[in-house]
Amino acid sequence: MNTLVKPHGCEFLKPLFLENPFLNEERKRASNMLSLPVSHREKGDLLMLGIGGFTPLSGFMGHDDWKGVCDKYQLSNGLFWPIPITLSITETLAKSINLGTEIALIDPDNQDILATMQITEKYHIDKTHECNSIYRTTDEEHPGVQMLMAQGEVNLAGPVKVLSQGGFPEKYGSLYLTPLQTREIFIKNGWKTVAAFQTRNPMHRSHEYLAKVAIEVCDGVLIHSLLGNLKPGDIPAEVRTKAIDELIKNYFVPKTLVQSGYPLDMRYAGPREALLHALFRQNYGCSHQIIGRDHAGVGSYYGPFDAHHIFDEIPEGALQTKPLKIDWTFWCYQCGGMASAKTCPHDEKDRLLVSGTKLRKLLSDDEIVPNEFSRPEVLKILRDYYTSIEDGDKVEIKLSGPSAR
């Protein structure tokens, strides 16, 4: 009996990826359609629509959904949704596309046809309003704000048929799992409760601690790595996942974790993105989402526990996937191990705050990394990576206070 959480807003997953013979037929039709290249962010959203990660959406959002999500965390039909899923173009291009037109959406990486879309709506967007709602700032130093402000002025809305998985299965192999596949694995493992651990970094000792806390209260943990685009200075997915594999092999009980990846770019939307992570992890079959310090944050734009608080602000029952809120975690020299602010009684001078940002800076600057920061097997892989890149290709990493991740 399947006892996993149900997909968001419905009984069954709704993947939009076409299978043959419909796939070949649609590809033939698409070759005669107007072509529209999409951004990397939009490509990731399309792939999530294709594999059912954004169930129950049928395509890119119209104006009422966009406004409802920005203002009230909900679609026009009342279903909870925290971040707009939209497709943007310039006003000039929008004038040449009529309602009812079918267009082919083109992969920015290889120029293949990713999907087809029927245009049901065109609408202008207030970028400042969206930035304030989703990112809580209009500061263009914020990478999410930069991305949004670079978009076109007009959104296109309509249902999509997804024709490609964007090269992710070929590039990542068995690491790239769809929601249907993760659910099948969880059921096979006999798991009823599963905690998702979101990461865009290799796992250091603090991350390891969070995952082990989750294993104590859930049947298993999904280590879910972002495989899409990151900001400059972040560690590539191939290196990150290799390091995580070593950590799992050496420091976790077998069959307590599954490592997988998903195709989105980071939005760096902090609390709002934490909600989106929980929503699509529900579609992947996860009952819980680990929410640590500064989840999906960047710089000092969000408080360290804003992503905790936002789960208390949304309506009861908006999500089946619940947050596992975990306090500051660090190495305590007096305790002799990892601890949190809820479990450690000692002073800050006895604590080593373990952060991904600080780890990347130490490695980038070829400095000594304390043993309490990361496991030696992980450090070897990361040092090999930093040794392989030229100094001129390294990005200066700035620490922005204790909330730096």
Active site residues: 200-201
**Residue 287 contacts by C-beta under 8 Å, 6 or more apart in sequence?**
4, 5, 192, 193, 194, 195, 218, 320, 321, 322
Query: 3-class DSSP state for residue 249?
Result: helix
What distances in angstroms separate CA 42 from CA 45, 89, 167, one per listed residue? 5, 11, 15
Q: Which two tokens stand for residue 395?
A: 């990005």
CA–CA separation, 113 and 32 (whole Å): 11
Phi, psi of 61 (to 5 degrees): -75, 145
Neighbour count for residue 312 (Cβ, 10 Å): 8
Whose CA is closest to 404, among 376, 375, 370, 362?
A: 362
Token pair 């006895």 is found at: 350
Distance of CA 316 to the CA centre of its chain: 23
Q: 179, 176, 182, 181: which is closest to 226 by C-alpha? A: 176
| Residues with Cβ within 8 Å of residue 204, at least 6 apart in sequence | 354, 355, 356, 359, 373, 374, 378
CA distance 130 to 128: 5
Q: Is the peptide bond preceding residue 56 cis, with omega within 30 degrees of 0?
A: yes
Q: 274: closest CA among 291, 293, 260?
A: 291
Q: Is the separation of the CB atoms in 155 and 123 below 8 Å?
A: yes
* Largest separation between any pair of C-alpha atoms in the chain: 69
